[in-house]
Amino acid sequence: MDTDLTFSSRRSPVVCLHGCVASSQPLASNIGLDVLKRGGNAADAAVAIAAALAVTEPCSTGPGGDAFCLFYNGDTGEIRGINGSGRSPGAQTLEFLESRGYTADAPPSPFDALNVTVPGAPACWCDTVQLFGSHKEVLIGALELAEVGFPVAEVTAHHWANGVAALRDAGKELGGDLLIDNHPPKSGQVFRNPALAQTLKELGEQGKPAFYQGRVAQAIVDVICQHGGVMTLDDLSSHDSEVITPISTEYKGVRLWEPPPNSQGLAALLLLNILENFPLKALGHNSSDYIHVLVEAVRLALTDALCYLGDPDHVTLPLETLLDKSYSRQRSQCISMERAMEGVEPGLMTGSDTVYFCVIDSQGNACSFVNSIYMAFGSGLVPKDCGFSLQNRGANFSLHRNHINCVSGGKRPYHTIIPALLTASAATSEKPQLRAALGVMGAFMQPQGHVQVLLNMLEFGMNPQQALDAPRVYVLYDQKTGEWLVNLEEGVDQEVAEELKKRGQKVNWPIMGRMCCSFGFARSLGLALLPLALCCILANLLLLFPMGETTYIQENRLASYIWYFGGLGGGGLLMLLPAVVFITLGKCNCCWNESLIMCGSVLAAVVGLVGSSYCFVMSGLTLVQGPQCFTSLGWTYPFADQGGRYLLQPEIWSQCLQPVHIVEWNVTLLCVLLGLAVLEFIICLLQLGSGLVNAICRPCCYKQEYSLNA
């Protein structure tokens, strides 16, 4: 046995003879393989997978979103692509939005109908098959999947539940079309979407007009206008994809190809050019020096991209200058190994749900493809009888008047989705030889992921599976605080995280594969708290009725502190509030705004601490006081002056003649209440600490759009 194999390499790369597909859903991958087996090529299979993913992952993708693809011709080595991003409605100008009271500081909500841009994916699918495919039937597999139904995968069910709020917003009565009995499907539950099947059938039979001019177009306009949007049938019918020539840069014998603006492929190339100026292999994979350089380079690349990247039909972009190696050398000099940059300015000052998949066929053609509706379920708007939700890509527009990405009628926004291809550089091959079709999911993580996966293979000798499995770094700009956050996946050493903090980086470590652990923890605490509260109520009720008799409560013969209802009120009814709040947390979305929800759990935990403390104090006082009972001296408190010492002298308990065994009854129930109160206090204290940490540090996931997973 080879003992040199690293753990990650135990997941061997898949090696194929006659073509290969990669996607996030086995069902979709099988549909793509079926197309290849029937004689289709990489482009045909890619579109088949795109449609299948629209069925199996409607929270991430669908006909209501956008798409980009790059296609490598195995015969000629030529690389072309399609920009399938949609434009804003013609009437949606900055002046229009300002007339509705929106500003750069107060833009429309991400889920507002005003953020719906024309869906470009269906046209991209059709054009991909038309330009690059073999014209085989490609939608039949997805159509059948939607009609018959499919068992929802565990991870998909998780994301489906996390994004369901977008479908349930006020007035979105058709959101239930993507739910089962108005609830997200659970893992293993079969989901059917006959409406989407009909949409795919019409698209397959009639092509683009079925979507952009038919009943689907009318349904899209209707639902948008019903919710305050301004899209028209003309906006839809005038849509067209754009055939693109990719932009590229060389790095140590290979060339990375990315889509040009309005996509952020530029950011990946800028990042790679900057990193070329550092001895990355010598720094060591995921060492503090390596990650520090990577983070600083990402900050520079994204700053430039956000400043200069817009719709080339509306603005002039300095692409040649930005991709010049001398420019990247100049930018790399801004990086200090000792300290994070205090501020990052663009280098040419003149005055974040998605699916990725790829296919390579037996002829050597490759299709790298990304399809997305932006955030989970996009805008949450579902056109009637169509079976998909509409994207909210317009949320990427700026409302700053002079910004290159400022909103305007008929304009394409800054786009995060970027498929990539890797070839041998022109210097070493006449016809560029394909090396890889690659991509990752996750908004601004995408250019960072491209480069990290590429460097893992080129600099650190990893095979493709290792390169994908390796822990990643995700740099994100927090617009609220103005800080660059450095998120380190689980697997990066803690010492590295601490060293990065010393250099001034704002580090979140570790970022887990699923970032909702705090919510699941709260729910577990709530489920534990609920039976304790019910037991407290029961114990207090038994104290009110010694031996099941009602006589003593009617004659006011109970210990005085029992009437303060420590168990019934403090440990019981008052404890139900935090229990319900904690349990409800387990059903919340996992996004930036969950910090507010965690604040609510903190308040509920405080209520629980007060209630459990009250129960403990009242039970303790009642126990020390002792019971009121009938003795030879009449009705009295025979143990009240002993300070609780009677508890250690059971031989004197017989002084109480009535109620029979009242001392044993009270002592047992009060000790139970004390124990329950202690457990309740500990549970609420745990959630108080967890809630404070999560509310302040926000280690919740950054929505599916900002997922770190490939």
The helix-helix angle for 194-206 and 215-226 (nearest 10°) equals 130
Residue 282's CB is within 10 A of a number of other CB atoms, namely: 10
Please report, in angstroms and rounded to a whole number, the separation of the first and last CA atoms in the chain. 30
Annotated catalytic residue: which of 249, 354, 416, 423?
A: 354
What are the structure tokens assigned to 601, written together? 């759990």
DSSP per-residue letters across 636-687: E-TTGGGTTGGGG-GGGGGG--BSTTHHHHHHHHHHHHHHHHHHHHHHHHHH
Q: Token pair 């609920």 is at which residue?
A: 530
Phi and psi torsions of 527, nearest 5° = -65, -30
What are the structure tokens assigned to 236, written together? 């839809």
| 8 A C-beta contact, residue 365 and residue 74 | yes
| 8 A C-beta contact, residue 359 and residue 36 | yes
Phi and psi torsions of 626, nearest 5° = 85, 170
Residue 562 to residues 344, 542, 549, 617, 665, Cα–Cα distance (Å): 66, 11, 16, 11, 13
Angle subtended at Cα 490 by Cα 184 and Cα 706, rounded to the nearest 5 degrees: 45
CA-atom Rg of the chain in angstroms:
31
| 8 A C-beta contact, residue 49 and residue 29 | yes
Decide: helix, strand or coil at residue 415: strand
Q: How far apart are CA 513 and CA 500, in angstroms?
A: 21
Amino acid at 348: L
| 8 A C-beta contact, residue 595 and residue 694 | yes
Instruction: Work out whether strand 483-489 and strand 506-511 pair parallel, antiparallel, or are unpaired.
Output: parallel
Q: How far apart are CA 410 and CA 422, in angstroms?
A: 33
Q: Which of 383, 404, 415, 443 is closest to 229 using CA atoms?
A: 383
In what order do the strands lie in the sheet containing 473-478? 473-478, 483-489, 506-511
- Residue 361, beta-bridge partner list: 19
Indicate the DSSP class of residue 545.
Answer: S
The helix-helix angle for 194-206 and 140-148 (nearest 10°) equals 160
Q: How far apart are CA 655 and CA 633, in angstroms?
A: 10
Burial 364-379 (b: 16+ CB within 10 A, else e): bbbbbbbbbbbbbbbb
- Residue 370, beta-bridge partner list: 68, 356
Would you call 354 a catalytic residue per the annotation?
yes
Decide: helix, strand or coil at residue 44: helix
**All residues at 6 or more sequence positions from 433 whose CB lies less than 8 Å from its CB, including other chains:** 77, 423, 424
Q: Token pair 């039909």 is at which residue?
A: 313
**All residues at 6 or more sequence positions from 620 whose CB lies less than 8 Å from its CB, including other chains:** 674
**All residues at 6 or more sequence positions from 297 whose CB lies less than 8 Å from its CB, including other chains:** 271, 274, 275, 332, 335
DSSP per-residue letters across 85-105: PPPPPTT--HHHHHHTT--SS
Most distant CA atoms of the chain, gap in Å = 113
What are the structure tokens assigned to 351, written together? 């005055």
CA 200, 201, 206, 209 torsion: positive or negative? Answer: negative
Decide: helix, strand or coil at residue 418: coil
Return the HEC string of 432-445: CCEEEEECCCCCCH
**Active centre residues (catalytic):** 354
